[in-house]
Structure 1
Amino acid sequence: MIGLGFRREMLDWDMSAVHADFFEVAPENWVRRDLAPLQALIDSGRPVNLHGVALNLGGAAPLDRSFLRDLRQLIDDLGTPLYSDHLAASGDSFQLYDLFAVPFTESHARRVADRIRVVQDALGMRIAVENTTWYTNVGAMPEADFLGMVLDQADCHLLLDLNNLSVNHKNHGGPSPSEFVQGLDMGRVSYMHVAGHEFDARFDLFMDTHSQPVEAHTQQLARSLAERHGTPVLLEWDNDVPGMEVINQELACLRTSTTM
């Protein structure tokens, strides 16, 4: 199965002509809003997953119980099969509208896992957490070990972002995306994200912009994992969103012989 992040630029598109099997939206954009566009996608036989950006799983402030109640209602209204959020902090005293790395330490892994369990209890479902890009971090644990500890202790799923692995590898070295995934339990992976990124000379870093086509090696890895494990893949394109023709070309590049 091949999915697509549904963005506001697509509201006027004929979505029946978009060659995606499922979609994903940020729940923060749809709480207490008209759900007709999403319901139309669902009525066409294509589920809609929710991928949040504001739950602040990696932060220290108490979880927003009001938002969790709204989120559970949205999940019920859409009959969505999966909710996910980022393994990152997004602000404690106020929403920062960005994602910040959690230190790779055992104490922080246990702390974040506790918060994930609270969310799962509130929603009445197992959620997925996404491995994120990070531009600076502290802690002696390898990222893969930190991620594995969180997943085990929280008993949650993983939303495996292959683009984030590529960005982190380019910026910090360490295992390549192909090497990284060899140490993962693919049985925990709900689905995968792919996207494009750019180099920013101001910071001498590759930035996770979601504004470019997916790199060939990331496409290849996604197709390989999908074929071996039956794991769905979703394309994210959040900035400088191109027209439908380009999006359909990108989706076609992600299909394996078993998904066509």
Structure 2
Amino acid sequence: MSDTPSKDPLGAGLGLRRALMGPLLSMQEGAVDFLELAPENWIGVGGRFSDGLSTLGERFPFVMHGLSLDIGGPDPLDMNLLEGVADLIRRFDVPIYSEHLTYCAADGHLYDLLPIPFTDEAVRYVSQRIQVVQDFLGMPLVLENASYYAQAHRELDEATFINAIVEESGCELLLDVNNVYVNSINHRYEPVAFMEALPLHAVRYLHIAGHYDEAEDLKVDTHGTDVIDPVWALLDEAYARVGALPTLLERDFNFPALDTLLSEIEQIRSAQQRRDLPAQKVSL
């Protein structure tokens, strides 16, 4: 990795999944602006997958979005994981490492992303762990506002909790637009007002995804379907407040043809272009 930090990618990106490796390798130049990989799925990987990763890394910028850092959990931070993350950052000159503002372990991995209690004590605890990660990697940790279905304990509302962590730790925010939408249905709040209460100055990039309708008042964040119109509309609202920041389309399973995913990439680009268009002169 060079001594000069790489710049954030622009535009619209797609999640790098092993099931998509073949289609991504055959993808035309410029079809996406960047790829996002989960480091846990690539640390120590050899053979054809490593070769494919290297090929894609030569063609597209990478960002990283982790799954198991467990920033809010009671177990010690996994420094072996962070060593592997640091190796990938150096190998591919990755400018962004993001994770979830959740916990996922307690005496071992739980294989789920669970909500942290919204308390002042948790703010202090999580912020200290964030600072350890940031000092180790020499870069800000970017944390995603999480989807959740039940909250164990709260002294603070979610937006206040997130603001306090950003202020105390100096971390940055990955604004997941679909999570805002899903939570707004499940927890009955107005999504734009919630978004406006977040520390939008700290947003580094955005996620958008599909979800599953379990019931009219219960949405499940699956990343296994197409993005729906209300989430596209909420993305427009986000761009109006933070600008057309780089945005990642998440799809984790139930993969359609690559052309279908690329059509959603084009929808992201269209929304970004609408936001960035200069004001038109009006003739009176």
Interval of TM-score (by shorter of Structure 1 and Structure 2): over 0.9
The residue number in structure 2 matching 1:218 is: 231
Equivalent residue for 1:91, pick from 94, 105, 125:
105
Residue identity matched to 1:185: P
Native 8 Å contact 2:212 2:221 kept in 1: yes
Alignment of 1:66-77 (within 5 A): 66-77=80-91
1:243 aligns with 2:257: yes
Once residues 219 and 68 of structure 1 are traced to their aligned partners in structure 2, the CA distance between those partners, rounded to angstroms, is: 34
Q: 1:226 to 1:232 in 2, by over 3 A?
A: farther
The residue number in structure 1 matching 2:39 is: 27
Identical amino acids, percent of aligned pairs: 36
Q: CA deviation at 1:7?
A: 1.1
- Contiguous gaps of at least 5 residues in structure 1: none
Native 8 Å contact 2:177 2:235 kept in 1: yes
Higher CA-based Rg? 2
Residue identity matched to 1:72: A
Alignment of 1:77-226 (within 5 A): 77-137=91-151, 138-176=153-191, 178-200=192-214, 205-226=218-239
Q: 1:229 to 1:49 in 2, by over 3 A?
A: same
Q: CA deviation at 1:104?
A: 0.8
How many residue pairs end up in the alignment?
257
Once residues 263 and 184 of structure 2 are traced to their aligned partners in structure 1, the CA distance between those partners, rounded to angstroms, is: 26
1:8 aligns with 2:21: no
Once residues 27 and 15 of structure 1 are traced to their aligned partners in structure 2, the CA distance between those partners, rounded to angstroms, is: 22
The residue number in structure 2 matching 1:254 is: 268
Residue identity matched to 1:175: E
TM-score (normalised: structure 1) = 0.92
Native 8 Å contact 1:162 1:194 kept in 2: yes
Could you give the per-residue CA deviations for residues 78-130 of structure 1, whole angstroms, max 9, x where no partner exists? 11111011000111211122100001111111111111111111111111011
CA RMSD of aligned residues (A): 2.0
Q: CA deviation at 1:229?
A: 1.5
Once residues 69 and 224 of structure 2 are traced to their aligned partners in structure 1, the CA distance between those partners, rounded to angstroms, is: 24
TM-score (normalised: structure 2) = 0.85
